[in-house]
Amino acid sequence: MCGRFVSTTPLSALAEQLLVDDVRTDDDRPNWNVTPRSSVAIVAATPTGRSHESTRVLDRVRWGLVPSWAKDEKIGDRLINARAETITEKPAYRSAFAKRRCLIPVDGFYEWKVVPGQKAKQPMFIHRPDGALIVLAGLYENWKDKNDPDAQWIRSCSIVTTGANSTISAVHNRMPVILPPERHDEWLDPDNHDVESLRRLLVPAPEDALTFYPISLAVNRPANNGPQLLEPVVVEK
């Protein structure tokens, strides 16, 4: 599972690292406590009109996927993560997986560990050992309320998750799918509808890809934000 994450890398750096052609947002505010319904940065590929050519676009969308057939946008609150094991079967994700895939860049994410004898779960900050950007596999959708002629289109996304590797399993049994740079083109390609080939990308990251440390319970409150959330704490044994 992935229910909170950190997004502080500037748009200009995201565009450079992810080979973006077109930046369609100017919202460059850092966020150390990204929660569902937040506006999050994604990178998607849109066809140019020429055969097998596309443009990489960086934009912001709502976190919590709202399927095109949904009657209410509130369904997105339950669809922040898409399980890799059932992604081709669930109606909420099936079409997006085949046609609307994206990259979701993050600086790290939070997970909560059960500690024996401790009532509250211990929050952990999970990140790359070198502090580099983490690029997650995502899906996106476009939705509009059919009962409201004046309604605006809502773009939304979901993070793809898989079973945890041996490192993250010490904290939780699930983790987001992390895509290495050499797989970005394959994942984003709007002409790639080979779902079986795409499913083979949805595997746990190598054991040494991530590390973690305990942080304050302050992260539990969505209203709390700022770099102080990432300060390590000592956990009494």
Instruction: Give the catalytic positions in this structure.
Output: 2, 111
| Residue 215: both structure tokens together | 């942080």
| Residue 102 contacts residue 156 (beta carbons within 8 Å) | no
Secondary structure of residue 172 in the 3-state scheme:
coil
Q: CA-to-CA distance for 164 and 119, rounded, in angstroms? A: 24
Q: Please give the backbone phi and psi of residue 178, each rounded to the nearest 5 degrees, phi first.
A: -105, 125
Residue 69 CB neighbour total at 10 angstroms: 12
State which H helix or E strand residue 195 sits in. helix 195-199
State which H helix or E strand residue 174 sits in. strand 174-176
Residues in CB range of 21: below 8 A, 6 or more apart: 55, 56, 57
